Structure 1
Amino acid sequence: MKKIIGHVISNRGKVRENNEDNYLLGRCLNAESLDESEAHFTGEAGEWTCAGVFDGMGGEAGGEIASRIVSQVFQENTLQLGKYTKDKLSEKIEKTFGLANRAVVEERKNRSTCGTTGTILVTDGNELRVFHRGDSRVYVMRDKQLYVVSKDHTLAQMKMDIGIYHLGDEIPERENHQLTEFIGMDYDGDALPYESGWIKWEENDRILLCSDGLYDMCSPQMILKCLTAGEAAEQTCHTLFEKAMDFGGKDNITVMVLQLADINNT
């Protein structure tokens, strides 16, 4: 038997005045939007687990309110996933994005700039799928290679997609973080997410979910080095977080690592 082990750290970093990030790991979230928050998860393979990272935007507490609202909506709607079929599960997550979007839109009546990214991973330990809006990311480390399985919804990426920019071009920094999609932007729609295909979870894979506060500070090579070090999920989280802080900690940092473990050996 296998089990899913997960650990998450969320921290305001060195520069920001508050922590506008939030997360979901099983039942755990940062319910008080604390400047420092940490949680651990153990679940049985074969049952659906939901994990997510939410990077709030808006300032004046608008971002942390949006990310907290969305983390709570996903917590409330993913507690009883049980053994859904994959089709039913996908429908459930899509509908939850709509509920989350409407909840943030309602809050935007008071805070016009309130919004958040939403990057959700669902897995039963055998397969995984990503549902996503914004520029928080999901990485898979497999066979000592690092793969990004989410897609940044930014102005820079959109211009890359349509051929305005090409690999190696110098891109204005603001365009790398100017979101083209986020939760809370669709006043009339249900905020359908980007969806990856179903990805088989190989035994030695490491899964990383993170906000841009990690990958802006740490190169892909550094992230890969940390994920391939062979440490447990908790220690890997701490190592990645500490690297992001060492390299500046200029934004809120949320780091979540998931791995499979033999239930008899942990």
Structure 2
Amino acid sequence: MEMLTIGAFARACRLSPKALRLYDELGLLRPARVDPDTGYRYYAAGQLERARLVAWLRRLGMPLAEIRRVCALGSGAAAGEIRAYWARVEAETAVRRDLAAFLVDHLTQEPRRDTTVNTLELRHHAHSDRGRVRPANQDTAYAGGRLLAVADGFGPAGAPASTAAVEALRFLDTRETPAGGVLNLLEDAVRGAAQAVRDAADGTEEAGTTLTALVWTGSRLALVHIGDSRAYLLRDGELFRITHDHTVVQSMLDEGRLTPEEAVSHPQRTLLLKALTGAAATPASPDLRLHDAHPGDRYLLCSDGLPAVVPDDTIRRLLATAPAPDAAVHTLIAAANGAGGPDNVSCVVADVVETAA
């Protein structure tokens, strides 16, 4: 068996001798032989493939513990784990990418010299319905001049939890918030909502709520989102989902482990990865981002009782054809109930309209 010194092996696999010694200590890449007198490490030529894989995975930023697990798998399974790891990295960096883009725009944007006498405002409507199957309604929906919110409670104290989360944000409806500071304000508000949910749940870990809200700044809408309630934007006849579900099934879709068709009937499709719960642990961080508002935009916030039974293309059609927010809300809820209404369903619809100052 051909043996290579640690220096020669390091040059061949592009790992430093220092890294090779660390991987030996961690049990990740043991040398083929260690000289009993000098302690000098020797490696077999057949170990180069594993060493190169370790080097590539380190360049990806994969943690050593995960590299050890991947290296123990066969080629096909290892490829699947690498694909899943990279999907997680992309999902985790998406929020930071959006925030970075906002900061660049905010810091480089010249002061607006707007001579128009028109301003933008929201016209809105909210309604929550028990549905056709559930014995009680654990959703909360709210729409005001500056705050739009939907919360979907679950567990034995689900209704108080969803109410508490939305109530904790209500102060945002009565104060002007500049776009530059709204994300920090929202982050602080969610901490308050998390504490309110813990108080309402009285320490019950099984109880909690999702929370999806938009705060109006006069020209932009700031989004805060945690859980699997959703926010959509209808612009120029096209429907865009602007939230990402924090669910086990969505993470499996992101990682390529499930197809959209399989996700529909997956037994864990309602299992949340993030929510505001009665547990005492630090709350999961929400998604935060800003959206520029255009006249004619129509926003929809809804609990998962709507998209679970009404396809997105139907949601788009009903949103696009309803003449006003109240009509849109009641039409969407009727569609969910017409499809069996297996869950509570709540909708908030808001139009961005131009008005004379």
CA distance in 2, matches of 1:216, 1:170: 11
1:246 aligns with 2:338: yes
The alpha-carbon deviation at position 173 of structure 1 amounts to: 3.0
The alpha carbon displacement at 1:233 in A equals: 0.9
In 2, the alpha carbon distance for the partners of 1:98 and 1:74 equals 10
Structure 2 residue 106 is matched with structure 1 residue 13:
no
Q: CA 1:174 to 1:65, structure 2 compared with 1: closer, same or farther past 3 Å? A: farther
Q: 1:209 is aligned with what amino acid?
A: L
1:106 aligns to what? Answer: 199
8 Å CA contact 1:97, 1:191 repeated in 2: no
Aligned-partner residue type, residue 143 of structure 1: D
Does residue 66 (structure 1) correspond to residue 175 (structure 2)? The answer is no
Aligned partners of 2:263 and 2:269 also within 8 Å: no
Is residue 205–residue 279 contact of structure 2 (8 Å, CA) maintained in 1? no
Instruction: Describe the superposition over 1:210-254 as per-residue Cα deviations: whole angstroms up to 9, x where unpaired.
Output: 001111121111111111115111111111111111111111010
Residue 205, structure 1, aligned to residue 297, structure 2: yes
Whether 1:85 aligns to 2:182 is no
* Contact 1:159/1:165 (<8 A) preserved: yes
* Cα shift at 1:90: 1.1
Is the 1:154–1:176 contact (alpha carbons within 8 Å) kept by the matching residues of 2? yes
5+ residue gaps, structure 2, are 1-117
Q: Report how many residues are paired.
A: 238
Q: Post-superposition shift, 1:180?
A: 0.3
Aligned counterparts of 2:326 and 2:225: Cα–Cα separation in 1: 24
Q: Deviations over 1:8-63 (max 9, x none)?
A: 1101111111110002222xxxxxxxxxxxxxxxx4xxxxx12110000004xx11
**Is the contact between residue 101 and residue 186 of structure 1 (CA under 8 Å) also seen in structure 2?**
no
1:66/1:176 CA distance change after superposition, 3 Å = same
Give unmatched runs, 5+ long, in structure 1.
27-42, 44-48
Conserved? CA contact 1:107–1:114, under 8 Å:
no
Q: Give the structure with the larger strand fraction.
A: 1
* SS of corresponding position for 1:187: coil
Report the AA paired with residue 21 of structure 1: D
Closer, same or farther: CA 148–78 of 1 in aligned 2, 3 Å: same
- Tell me the SS of whatever aligns to 1:70: helix
SS across alignment from 2:127: strand
Find 1:138's aligned residue among 215, 231, 234.
Answer: 231
Higher alpha-carbon Rg: 2
SS of equivalent to 2:122: strand
The one-letter amino acid paired with 1:160 is: L
Alpha-carbon distance, 1:66 to partner: 0.4
> Any conservation in 1 of the 2:201–2:278 contact (CA below 8 Å)?
no
What is the DSSP-based 3-state SS (H/G/I as helix, E as strand, rest coil) of the residue aligned with 1:228? helix
TM-score, normalised with respect to structure 1: 0.82
Q: Residues 81 and 213 from structure 1, CA distance in 2 versus in 1: closer, same or farther, beyond 3 angstroms?
A: same
Pick aligned residue for 1:55 from 152, 172, 185: 152
Give the fraction of aligned pairs with identical amino acids, expressed as a percent: 29
Cα offset, 1:259, TM superposition: 0.2
Bigger Cα displacement from structure 2, 124-133 vs 111-120: 124-133
Residue 24 (structure 2) pairs with residue 24 (structure 1): no
Q: Aligned partner of 1:199: which letter?
A: H
> 242, 246, 267: which is aligned to 1:174?
267
RMSD: 2.0
Contact 2:212 / 2:226 at 8 angstroms: preserved in 1?
yes
C-alpha separation between the residues in 2 aligned to 1:166 and 1:173?
10
Distance 1:85 1:170, change over 3 A: closer
User: Structure 1 CA distance, aligned partners of 2:302 and 2:331?
Assistant: 14
If each structure's helix is expressed as a fraction of its own residues, which one has the higher value?
Answer: 2
Change (3 A) 1:171 1:261: closer
Distance 1:127 1:251 in 2: 32
2:212 maps to which of 96, 114, 119: 119
Compare relative contact order (CA 8 Å, sep 6+) and give the higher one, 1 or 2: 1
TM-score norm. by structure 2 comes to 0.62
Partner residue, 2:103: none
Whether the 8 Å contact between 2:141 and 2:347 is mirrored in structure 1 is: no
Cα distance between partner residues in 2 of 1:170 and 1:261: 37
Q: What is the match of residue 314 of structure 2?
A: 222
Q: How does 1:182-197 map to 2 (within 5 A)?
A: 182-184=275-277, 187-196=280-289
Q: Aligned partners of 1:175, 1:202: CA distance in 2, in Å?
A: 37
Shift of 1:6: 0.3
